[in-house]
């Protein structure tokens, strides 16, 4: 009933959701036959379903390199995230992880669920890594080494200032942007982008995740994870965990809004980076997560649910973003729409109102100046089409029958 209710409320989601489902089915059939590559692509799908869909459109050689790059860094992140691993054990692993990728026998048991499987059977990832081209391996090794060292540094150091926050996000995400640019260049399809633009691409995504995942991180057992900078949250509460308590709701919202405002400072660089890409598949691969990030920030801004549960874009809207993000006109349009949504939620009593509005105006002006806003469909549905509910129900039933038929044929 929940799915049907959502479709009745947003019938414009039906077609993109169907296309996404078909794409997911197709991706499942494209798993390589070699055991180590099969493991890598199956694991990629399990630890990041949306990423595994976007990556499928890339050329095979580049797709394989990025798949391994992602899994190596995901494994590194699993070591960092596991708060049950003692510091004296964790830090040497982080510092030497770039060498472990060359060892077909190495593995380290940590993490939970699919992440534990990834770590326990990491030899599959190493085997696949060793089959990559020389330039791909060098880029992955370099970024893994630098990221591991940065993570190790912040095992001992808390995120105190906004500069610390930017540095931490650089180590865990900005370097990913630099690494991807190197991989694109190694494939011969793109020029190497400037470090600052690559860094902003990573920081915008990472800061969005840190904001969205506040409750999950603060409730981590046996030890909470704290990535929000003290320089920001200490203006509002004595301890970071105090933001989740109902009696601090006003302060929590104000702190949240300042965190979102901080993230918006990276948008201009992200749009500049995306505008330089030439290859359509690489463009979509890079653009879709950025559009998802601005959509998530629009959802999180001024939203107390960030401190109560999970806040994310609805599945149908995610499907629309994946389906409709194909060129810079689509990107400018999406950033314009989601920035308008965010702006509509700004309250003039908020302490950061002037800074928030200033950053939003810069984004909106950049999108308007692109001259492309009239060339795409809006994500802001002001007066949706008048779908007959019976028609929608019949369509949903037909879709279910079609997918069931395809599933039966596959087995």
Q: Which residues are catalytic?
A: 168, 212, 225, 285
Give yes or no for a contact between 175 and 147, defined as CB atoms under 8 angstroms apart: yes
Give yes or no for a contact between 137 and 128, defined as CB atoms under 8 angstroms apart: no
DSSP 8-state class, residue 84: T
Give yes or no for a contact between 270 and 201, defined as CB atoms under 8 angstroms apart: yes
Cα torsion angle, 151, 54, 182, 211, sign:
negative
In the chain, the N- to C-terminal Cα span, in Å, equals: 27
Tokens read off for 298:
């629009």
Q: How far is CA 200 from each of CA 166, 192, 233, rounded to the nearest angstrom?
A: 10, 15, 22
Q: E strand or H helix at 335, and its extent?
A: helix 328-344
Tokens read off for 51:
């990423």
Write down the H helix ranges in 157-266. 162-169, 175-186, 195-212, 214-218, 230-233, 249-263
Rounded distance between C-alpha atoms, residue 385 and residue 344, angstroms: 23
Return the exposure string of 181-215: e unless at least 16 CB atoms fall within 10 Å of the residue's CB, then b. bbbbebbebbeebeeebbbbbbbbbbbbebbbbbb
Q: Which residues contact 91 (CB under 8 A, 6 or more apart)?
A: 152, 155
């Amino acid at each position: 009933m929940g799915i049907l209710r959502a479709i009745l409320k947003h019938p414009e989601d039906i077609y993109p959701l169907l296309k996404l489902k078909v794409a997911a089915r197709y991706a499942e059939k494209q798993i390589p036959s070699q055991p180590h590559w099969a493991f890598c692509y199956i694991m990629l799908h399990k630890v990041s379903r949306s990423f595994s869909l976007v990556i499928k459109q890339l050329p095979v050689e580049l797709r394989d390199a990025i798949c391994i790059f992602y899994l190596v860094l995901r494994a590194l992140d699993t070591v960092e995230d596991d708060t049950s691993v003692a510091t004296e054990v964790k830090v040497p692993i982080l510092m030497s992880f770039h060498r472990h990728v060359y060892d077909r026998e190495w593995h380290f048991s940590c993490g939970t669920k699919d992440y534990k499987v990834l770590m326990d059977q990491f030899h599959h990832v190493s085997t696949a890594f060793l089959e990559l081209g020389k330039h791909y391996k060098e880029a992955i090794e370099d970024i893994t080494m630098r990221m591991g060292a940065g993570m190790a540094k912040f095992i001992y150091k808390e995120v105190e200032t906004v500069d610390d926050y930017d540095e931490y996000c650089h180590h865990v995400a900005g370097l990913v942007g630099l690494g991807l640019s190197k991989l694109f260049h190694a494939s011969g399809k793109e020029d190497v982008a400037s470090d600052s633009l690559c860094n902003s691409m990573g920081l915008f995504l990472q800061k969005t995740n840190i904001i969205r995942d506040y409750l999950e991180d603060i409730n981590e057992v046996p030890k909470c994870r704290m990535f929000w900078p003290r320089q920001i949250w200490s203006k509002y509460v004595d301890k970071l965990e105090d933001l989740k308590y109902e009696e601090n709701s006003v302060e929590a919202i104000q702190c949240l809004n300042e965190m979102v405002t901080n993230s918006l400072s990276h948008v201009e660089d992200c749009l500049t980076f995306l505008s330089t890409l030439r290859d359509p598949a690489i463009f979509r691969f890079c653009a879709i997560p950025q559009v998802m990030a601005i959509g998530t920030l629009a959802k999180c801004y001024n939203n107390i649910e960030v401190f109560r549960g999970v806040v994310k874009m609805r599945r149908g809207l995610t499907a629309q973003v994946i389906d409709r993000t194909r060129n810079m006109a689509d990107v400018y349009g999406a950033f314009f729409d989601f920035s308008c949504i965010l702006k509509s939620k700004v309250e003039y009593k908020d302490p950061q109102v002037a800074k928030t509005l200033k950053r939003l105006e810069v984004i909106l002006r950049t999108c308007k100046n692109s001259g492309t806003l009239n060339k795409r469909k809006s994500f802001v549905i002001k007066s949706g089409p008048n779908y007959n509910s019976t028609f929608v129900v019949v369509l949903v039933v037909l879709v279910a029958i079609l997918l069931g038929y395809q599933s039966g044929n596959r087995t």
